[in-house]
Amino acid sequence: MSKKCSVIALILLFVIPVQVSAIGINPNDPIFPYDDIMPLANLVLKTNGGGVRPDYALFIADYLRDIGIEVEIKIEEWSVFVGALLVTHDYDMGIVSISGGGASPDMRNIYTEAGNMNLCGLDTDIPYGNQSEQMQEECMTMMDLQTRQQHYYDWQQLMMDKIVPMLPLYTPQSFVGTWANTLGYDASWGIIDSLPYMSYDGYHEGQKSLTEFRIADANLRELNPMFIDSYFGYGFIGKTLNEELVLLSPSHEPIKTGLVRDWERIDDFHFKFYMRDNVFWNPSYNITERDEYSPPLNTIPTTQLARGLKSNEYSDGSNQQVTAKDAVFTLLLWGNPTISESTSYHEWISNIYVDPVDPLVFHVHIDEDPVTPEPDYYPDFWERLNWIVMPEFFLNSTDPTVSYSSGGVKCTGLHFDMINSPQWRMYSISQFGCGKYMLDYTVRNEKTVLQASPYWMGVGPKDGSIEDLDIETITVSVIVDASEELDAFRNGYLDWSGLRQFPSIRKQMQKDPRFNVQSFITSSMSFLFFNLQRPFIGGYDNFIYLDAAGKEEYTKAVSVRKAICYAIDREEMNEVIHNGDYLIAHSVLYPYTGYYYYDDIIKYKRDLKLASEWMGSCGYPVPDYTPTDNSLCCINGTTTPTSSLSYVTSIVAFVFIIVISLMTRRFHFRIPKRKLERK
């Protein structure tokens, strides 16, 4: 009986056309995958173990089967993988993540033939290779910001359209939360630059004051930036107490809302900077003996004023103006090897001085390489001007000692012993600046309290508007454990918290009207890169131009690389692997490099019709993914009819086989391997 039923069911299946999936077909889904035919190519994709890059590789291998490419995935230990990247280059494709850069658009170390991270095997012989390298070199000689930006835009379009050395994947986003009653906070600008715009619209649970902002951090850190190995470790408190010389927007564009209100390019190697007038140093309070029971901070008679190295000078909030000498002093500090451990950041300063006529103006002469006789361009110097300003009257000495900066600028008064003086040591724990807030007191292992400065310059960093500080007090509680911080935030004891480590809780909070969750992108990017020296995706095919109409300026290898890019569904990968939380990148630059990152670039969204078109233009046999109507679809030009009835009948027959087979225990149903991998 079971044999007869099986025969009937099999007959039903074979009389139904095979193309049952054509009903309601998605034009971007393959009709006949390449599972049962000879692949067009077998490519090796390498990455390192750990993290999500092996998951990316599994998805990519699955997608590329849809255009006839079989991928062998090799997961290697990091040291072995690095050897492959930099030495052997024994791969067709690879997946890597880079991080820590992005402030500068200069990525010649990756995208030039001589680059020490030339993962793609780029050289000047391939079509457009020489043009790409020339454009990158030109970008490094353009001192005008807008001209340079447009040139980088043109280069990025050339790379992603005519060369296609890689497919950008993702940039992680960090998430932070505030209570919904917090107004004016902008995560992309951060807390410090948002403070002049912030206020509260009523109370949230656990909140006791509408003029206090409460966050968590580690213990009070070293406040003198010259005593810190990396300026980027300089903490939230220190940057709240002071202002930066040249302010940078979240996209790293220099803006004129900081202490420097304007600048002038005299020539490519000489810039003139104009300081903001009527900005004064906050009182040089010595808060080392203060606690929560001390009198209010702004009553000068009750708070001792510390005196500096220069003739015991002090500041009472109105007698010491921030001028160009403070800017010059700050930059010379960073470039002086007797004081600084970061002198290489300032070798490009060949000369710096206060204008002989205007004390609010200073001049900077630029030479990236002081060894060569002629000055060298350095358009990225803007990133080295956003240091917090240091009080020259307090930290400089009257000692006649002469020293020199790393760029050869003469310095008078800077000597090694000065960093051991009581003033320098006090500045590390009782810093004063010209910023929005002043140190009130600190209780180690418990909290630090800041008070709004009545002496602050009152200029909003985002737009230059006149602002005051509705948030009068900032309390920084010492909470080291991230889970404890989150609990304190959700219970109303904090007003802000990072959420990066808690994606499930963050998603709940995004649906909770009591909270406001925002994100900002990080200085990291992952990408799939191609080895342009390998056959099929590169090699000799780099030099074979297409005959297809409209594609004559593209080569066979570029067409394959484009097809690969169009075959990959980065949106689906993002949803499955990252819950849709990552930003999909589209350019060879970090998205973090916002001012130079070109978003209006060619974008490779999953489109099997375009992938098929680019593969077909090379002469490779590929499916035609375009359905002619709801009941017909074409495969290599062959029209095959289907119907709803046949679809339903096939399903019934298939189910019938399974039921009978279970009864006879002779049928073994197997899920295709590629579907298991995708899960």
Measured CA to CA in angstroms, residue 41 lies from 57, 527, 546, 655 at distances of 17, 21, 19, 36
φ/ψ region of 202 (left if φ > 0, alpha if ψ in -120 to 50, else beta) reads left
Quickly list DSSP for 660-679.
HHHHHT-------HHHHHH-
User: Nearest-5° angle of CA 502, CA 506, CA 512?
Assistant: 150
Measured CA to CA in angstroms, residue 167 lies from 115, 127, 161, 579 at distances of 19, 18, 11, 20
Tokens of 189: 């600008």
3-state secondary structure of 583: strand
pLDDT tens for 70-124 read 999 999 999 999 999 999 999 999 999 999 888 899 999 999 999 999 999 999 9
The pLDDT of residue 225 is 87
Tokens of 382: 């803007």
| Burial class, 76, CB count within 10 angstroms (exposed 0-12 / middle 13-18 / buried 19+) | middle
Task: Select from 587, 618, 615, 617 the least CA-distant residue to 164.
Answer: 587
Q: Say if CB 363 and CB 270 are below 8 A apart.
A: yes
Q: Say if CB 434 and CB 322 are below 8 A apart.
A: yes
Task: Select from 560, 463, 531, 515 the least CA-distant residue to 196.
Answer: 463
pLDDT tens for 24-65 read 334 444 444 545 567 899 999 999 998 899 999 999 999 999
CA gap 496, 518 in Å, rounded:
11
In this structure, the strands spanning 69-76 and 41-48 are parallel
- What's the Rg (C-alpha) of the chain? 32
Q: Is the dihedral of CA 310, 312, 313, 316 positive or negative?
A: positive
The pLDDT of residue 658 is 44
How many CB atoms lie under 10 A from the CB of residue 138?
14
Query: In sequence order, what are the residues at sequence separation of 6 or more whose Cβ sits closer than 8 angstroms to the Cβ of residue 173?
Result: 519, 520, 521, 522, 581, 582, 583
Residue tagged 């075959």 (tokens):
567
pLDDT tens for 207-255 read 999 999 999 998 877 888 888 766 555 688 989 999 999 999 999 999 9
In this structure, the strands spanning 260-267 and 270-275 are antiparallel
Q: What is the mean pLDDT of each run of 10 residues along the chain (679 residues)?
A: 43 39 40 61 95 96 96 95 92 95 94 96 97 98 98 98 98 97 98 98 97 92 79 77 96 97 98 98 93 84 86 92 98 92 90 98 95 93 94 94 93 90 92 96 93 97 97 96 96 97 96 97 96 97 95 97 98 97 97 97 97 94 56 30 38 43 36 27
CA gap 303, 480 in Å, rounded:
31
| Burial class, 174, CB count within 10 angstroms (exposed 0-12 / middle 13-18 / buried 19+) | middle
In this structure, the strands spanning 583-584 and 41-48 are unpaired
Query: In sequence order, what are the residues at sequence separation of 6 or more whose Cβ sits closer than 8 angstroms to the Cβ of residue 334?
Result: 226, 340, 342, 343, 345, 346, 384, 387
Q: Say if CB 261 and CB 273 are below 8 A apart.
A: no
Phi, psi of 555 (to 5 degrees): -100, 170
CA dihedral 556, 557, 560, 561 (to 10 degrees): -140
3-state secondary structure of 641: strand
The pLDDT of residue 199 is 98
The pLDDT of residue 220 is 78
User: Nearest-5° angle of CA 59, CA 63, CA 64?
Assistant: 120
Q: How far apart are the first and last CA of the chain?
A: 38
Residue tagged 């790393």 (tokens):
406
The structural domains of the chain, ordered by start, are 26-171+523-616 (3.10.105), 173-218+444-521 (no CATH)
Q: Is the dihedral of CA 262, 267, 269, 272 positive or negative?
A: negative
Tokens of 423: 């003033």
